[in-house]
Amino acid sequence: MSEKTTREQIVEAADALFYRQGYDHTSFADIAEAVQISRGNFYYYFKTKDEILDAVIEQRLADRRAMLARWEAETESPAERIRCYIKILITNQADIKRYGCPLGTLSSELAKLNHEAQGEAKALFTLFRTWLRRQFEELGHGAEADALALHVLAASQGVATLANAYQDDAFVRREVEGLFDWLDARLAEAKNTGKNGARPRKRQAAP
């Protein structure tokens, strides 16, 4: 277990607390208690709370970029990669049920606070949007690739919001299955059929 910088510890704790409690509702005192440092020590690393938020968003961007790179390395087809994204809803189900989507809830909160960092939060969405678009492009959906990417993003956001409200596992599973079916239909549509890696799955009725 490697030693972590105080700064890294602050960002890590802030990241978790912003996710669980929201940015506005998380105080310096909360973070200080989590990291076990004094409140005054923050000023040495971050001059304002906004700077911590920027660092947290930067961290989330880096984490997600690493995740996407891992998927690129581990998978063999664009379709499989898109399925990786959809499957986050299952993998992170426990957290999503309790706190919602880390991207969506932050974006919504910053919009209400009319916070400067709205743009940075949007960049988190855009990271996935661009990546998903590329996958759809590789599948042969040139013109509509971006629309398809946004659709997948929207679908996952909606599932996360309702999963958070209702804590319903079965609902999440159903919607993920529905998204897989939707993706299969897009694969069938695509021109270069055959090498797209349609999954060996038993289909079932929508949704």
- Answer yes or no whether residue 150 interacts with DNA by CB under 7 A: no
Question: CA–CA distance from 121 to each of 38, 90, 110 (Å)?
Answer: 28, 23, 8
**Exposure class string for 119-136: b at 16+ Cβ within 10 A, else e:** ebbebbbebbbebbbebb
Burial of residue 20 (CB within 10 Å: 0-12, 13-18, 19+) is middle
Candidate list 69, 90, 165, 188; residue touching a second copy; CB under 8 A:
165
- Answer yes or no whether residue 116 interacts with DNA by CB under 7 A: no
Query: Smallest distance from the beta carbon of 81 to a second copy, in angstroms?
Result: 18
Candidate list 27, 91, 167, 193; residue touching DNA; CB under 7 A:
27
- Answer yes or no whether residue 30 interacts with DNA by CB under 7 A: yes
- Answer yes or no whether residue 77 interacts with a second copy by CB under 8 A: no
Residue 158 CB partners (closer than 8 Å, separation 6+): none
Nearer to a second copy, 194 or 207 (CB): 207
Residues of span 8-47 touching a second copy by CB under 8 A: 20-22, 24-25
What does 121 bind: DNA, a second copy, none (CB cut-off 5 to 8 Å by kind)?
A: a second copy
d(CA 162, CA 145): 26
Nearer to a second copy, 45 or 97 (CB): 97
What angle, rounded to 10 degrees, do the helices at 49-74 and 6-21 form? 90
- Answer yes or no whether residue 196 interacts with a second copy by CB under 8 A: no
- Answer yes or no whether residue 39 interacts with DNA by CB under 7 A: yes
- Answer yes or no whether residue 38 interacts with DNA by CB under 7 A: yes
The window from 35-43, 121-129, 178-186, 188-196 that contacts DNA (CB under 7 A) reads 35-43
d(CA 45, CA 175): 43
Question: Among all chains, which residue has been given the structure tokens 């974006």?
Answer: 107
Nearer to a second copy, 11 or 106 (CB): 106
